[in-house]
């Protein structure tokens, strides 16, 4: 049973955090209602009834979403490296730097080719 204690603790902490953040935002957040607030998703895209132009979504939206994944992945791998960096030493540093460089390449490509300009 003992081995499950960390897992259960983690699950409990996760639940507490979810409850905490939902209740704190509903208690302390400003309540200024506008059109965007009543949308099903407040994400910059009109999900219903249908987007302008026959249900087409602007492709820039996906570019931004993919950018998010680039940085998300960066964190996912940086974190375990940071925890074990003393064991991994110079090899680990070189490897993570190579990884960061490779992650930057698509970002630079997108920036240079105008993918970051919204209009």
Tell me which residues touch other proteins (CB under 8 A).
Answer: 2-3, 5-6, 9, 84, 87-89, 91-92, 102, 105-106, 108-109, 111-113
CB 75, CB 105: distance < 8 Å = no
CB of residue 103 vs other proteins: minimum separation in angstroms?
11
In the bound state with other proteins, the residue whose beta carbon lies nearer, of 73 and 105, is 105
Min. distance of Cβ 23 from other proteins in angstroms? 24
* 22/94 with CB nearer other proteins: 94
**Least distance between other proteins and beta carbon 87 (Å):** 5
Distance CA 82, CA 96 (A): 10
Judged by CB, which is closer to other proteins: 7, or 38?
7
Nearest to 43 by CA among 65, 73, 69: 65
Cβ neighbours for 60, distance < 8 A, ≥ 6 positions apart? 115, 118
* Cβ proximity to other proteins, 42 vs 119, nearer residue: 119
- How far is the C-alpha of 47 from the C-alpha of 36, rounded, in Å? 11
Entry field: residues in the chain: 119
């Amino acid at each position: 049973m003992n081995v499950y204690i960390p897992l259960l603790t983690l699950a409990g902490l996760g639940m507490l955090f979810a409850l905490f953040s939902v209740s704190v935002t509903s208690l302390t957040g400003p309540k200024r209602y506008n059109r965007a607030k009543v949308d099903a998703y407040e994400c910059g895209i009109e999900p219903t009834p249908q987007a302008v132009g026959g249900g087409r979504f602007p492709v820039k939206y996906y570019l931004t979403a993919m950018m998010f994944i680039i940085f998300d992945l960066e964190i996912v791998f940086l974190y375990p490296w940071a925890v074990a960096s003393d064991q991994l030493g110079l090899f680990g540093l070189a490897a993570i730097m190579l990884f960061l460089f490779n992650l930057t390449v698509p970002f630079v490509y997108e920036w240079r080719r105008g993918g970051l300009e919204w209009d």
